[in-house]
Structure 1
Amino acid sequence: MSLAPELRVIGRRENLRDRIRDALRAAIISGELEPGVVYSAPALGAQFGVSATPVREAMLDLVKEGLIVPHPNKGFRVTEMSEEDLDNLAAVRLLIEPPAVRETVPVIPEADFPHLRELAQDIVDAAELGDLVAYVEADHVFHLTLLGHTGNRFLLDVVSDLRARTRLLGLTPLLRGGGLARSAAEHHELLDLVEARDPVGAELLMHRHIGHVRGLWAGGAKGTP
């Protein structure tokens, strides 16, 4: 596991903490940091090429998000999610995200299309590089940017939290089987529907997309809802 590439654009100290937190969150979601395992700040700092202090600060942020729990004098343990928990998370996301995407389709300015395409391409590029941490983070940025056009910050907070608690432990075998690139391409397909001003089509695709979270991407036997 290598987390260091995620720190390419770091500048100021506060950005360092933020970038480490985002990279760790993505590593937890993708399964690069394994559920139930205790990780120490010094060991992770060595992978990032930084001291333990900003890593420890970032991990304390993730404690507040419920993604890890502290183990005194040892480090932090990644919390485990039951299959029932993940099913319930996906069910809530299906209630919220597809209708929200439908609402954004008529209001996204054409001038914003190129930026959204760049964000979608970041996901494709990460898949092609086999960088699961970058993939998860790019996916997170894309969807929150898209939903940001609703103008509803409470919606963004809820979706961000639900996505952070999701586990995509099936991404590694999906990557090995060549399926991750195909899944990444769905983001461009979604933008095709957005640019065509097809809200119903975008909603249906988003429904299928979230279905993958509990199917292909989760590594389980569940299919698309």
Structure 2
Amino acid sequence: MSLVVRTLADRIFDLVREKVVSGELPQDQPIRQDALAAEFGVSKIPLREALARLEQENLLVSHANRGYFVRAMSADEAEEIYALRLAIEPAAVGLAALAATDAERAAATAAMDALDKAAAGQAEQVAMRNREFHVALARPCRRVLTVQLIERLQFLSERYTVAHLAPAGRGDRAHDEHSGLLQAWLARDAAHAEALAAAHITGTLQDLRQQLHQA
């Protein structure tokens, strides 16, 4: 049995990250460390450690004598994230469809169910469950570095997922696309699953291009 030890800074990291992903902490605004420390009931030491990690994750940016700010989303960053996803994720999903064990197939189905249940809840929960679903479809490809890269890109995608799902009707469309993708994956139709994954990523990027250029 493995023992996972989470520090106070780890827990604060998750809490602040949720606030960034959901938009509760606005972009390009200074983070009020006193207020966050009081809200979490902690000192500034673990909070600063968490903020430094979030800067390493490209979610925050620090300025000398001004503190930490939420890094603004941009069309350029979206292009880079989704281009990288498109380059590696669909092929991994296709390979995983053929290699997945019964347990991994059950895990992917459970991830889809969790995503559906989260759809009526908070935005950051939907983004997290969306990430877990996509990673579950790729993990059985048995390529460790590829899966690590996909996980990293999925983390970076979360704020864009929240933005993408904001317009009316997007959630229903995403559900339909995810359902079709999962069905092809469970049927071990690697070519179809790969094509659907590519179409899903491409369609999301096309929507984001329009949204972010209008912002």
TM-score calculated relative to the size of structure 1? 0.76
Which whole-Å CA distance do the structure 2 matches of 1:61 and 1:115 have between them?
A: 29
Q: Which runs of 5+ in 2 are unaligned?
A: none
Q: Distance in 1 between matches of 2:62 and 2:212?
A: 32
Deviation digits for residues 4-40 of structure 1 (CA, Å, limit 9, x no counterpart): xxxxxxxx97265435434544543454433212223
CA contact (8 A) 1:170 1:218 kept: no
The 1:153–1:147 alpha-carbon spacing in structure 2 relative to 1, beyond 3 Å, is same
- How far did 1:71 drift? 4.2
Question: Which residue identity is paired with 1:118?
Answer: A
Matched residue, 1:95: 87
The residue number in structure 1 matching 2:115 is: 123
CA contact (8 A) 1:214 1:220 kept: no
Say which SS state the counterpart of residue 184 (structure 1) adopts: helix
Shift of the 81–147 alpha-carbon distance from structure 1 to 2, 3 Å rule, reads same
1:171–1:218 CA contact under 8 A, matched in 2: no
Classify 1:22/1:202 alpha carbon distance in 2 versus 1 (closer, same or farther; 3 Å). Answer: farther
* One-letter identity of the residue aligned with 1:197: R
Q: Could you tell me which residue of structure 1 aligns to residue 163 of structure 2? A: 170
Q: CA offsets, 1:171-205, max 9 Å, x none?
A: 4632xx24324413533332211111111111111
For 1:116 and 1:15, the matched residues in 2 are separated by 29
| CA RMSD, 1 decimal | 2.9
How many equivalent pairs are there? 207
**Matched residue, 1:189:** 180
Is the 1:62–1:68 Cα contact (8 Å) retained in structure 2? yes
Greater radius of gyration (CA): 2
**CA-CA distance at 1:141 after TM superposition:** 2.0
For 1:13 and 1:151, locate their aligned partners in 2 and report how far apart those are by CA, in whole Å.
Answer: 26
Alignment of 1:138-153 (within 5 A): 138-153=129-144
Task: Check 1:139–1:44 CA distance in 2 against 1; reply closer, same or farther (3 A cut).
Answer: farther
CA contact (8 A) 2:78 2:208 kept: no
Which of residues 107, 111, 132 in structure 1 aligns to 2:103?
A: 111
Q: 1:17 to 1:189 in 2, by over 3 A?
A: farther
Aligned to 2:6: 14
Pairing partner for 1:157 from 143, 148, 152: 148
Partners of 2:37 and 2:164 in 1: how far apart?
A: 24
Find 1:37's aligned residue among 19, 29, 40: 29
Does the CA contact (< 8 Å) of 2:28 and 2:72 recur in 1? Answer: yes
Larger fraction in helix: 2
Question: Normalized against structure 2, the TM-score is what?
Answer: 0.79
Q: Output one character per residue of 1:142-178: Cα deviation in whole Å (capped at 9) or x when no partner.
A: 222332212222112222332333341634632xx24
Greater mean deviation of Cα atoms: 28-37 or 146-155: 28-37
- What are the residue-to-residue correspondences of 1:56-67 with 2, within 5 Å? 56-67=48-59
**Of the candidates 50, 60, 71, which is equivalent to residue 68 of structure 1?**
60
Distance 1:215 1:196, change over 3 A: same
Amino acid at match of 1:59: L
In structure 1, distance between residues paired with 2:207 and 2:111: 22
Question: What CA distance in whole angstroms lies between the structure 2 residues aligned with 1:15 and 1:108?
Answer: 33
